[in-house]
Amino acid sequence: MTGFISAFDVTNSASVVCPTNGKVGRRVDTQTVKAMLNLPLNVLRNTEYRFCPDPTCPTVYYSADGLQTFAEADLRERVYQKHPQEDNSLICYCFRHTVGDVLKDRNAGENKVISEIDQGIKNGQCACDIRNPQGSCCLGNVRALVKTAAVKS
């Protein structure tokens, strides 16, 4: 019975590491993995899936038991965390803002991107769980990018 996988193989350990780079990834809802995969969804199992945000690791999602990994080529979207330096990387998937948009806004001393995202959230127009590969709101990433990027003079 090698390879047998229980239908209820749920791992609740907080420290489930990515089998590719050995670092702990973030738990994601299976709904997010379903929305992102560019594969027949019958590859999915009744287990926990995790997101590996490490830009140097090719694995985006992995099963908590380490038996499955999905790379960017298996997905319908490019993943911001894997290309954080590229201007054309989407950072806000719901309202389609790129890294370049955020930097331009910041360099102009404006706050249009963040206020547009805030407004969209208030209007109930965001769908981070099915649009953003990380399965959660992009706002933390956008704020971090605004903060860390050095202001060009």
Judged by the rule CB under 5 A, the positions of this chain that interact with Zn ion are 18, 20-21, 52, 57, 59
Shortest CB 66 distance to Zn ion, Å: 11
* Residue (81 or 98) nearer to Zn ion, CB: 81
Strands (E), the chain: 26-28, 49-51, 59-63, 69-71, 90-92, 97-98
- Residues 12-33: b if buried by 16+ CB within 10 A, e if exposed: eeeebbbbbeeeebeebebebb
Shortest CB 127 distance to Zn ion, Å: 25
Residues belonging to the chain: 153
Shortest CB 53 distance to Zn ion, Å: 8
* Residue (25 or 126) nearer to Zn ion, CB: 25
24 DSSP assignment: B
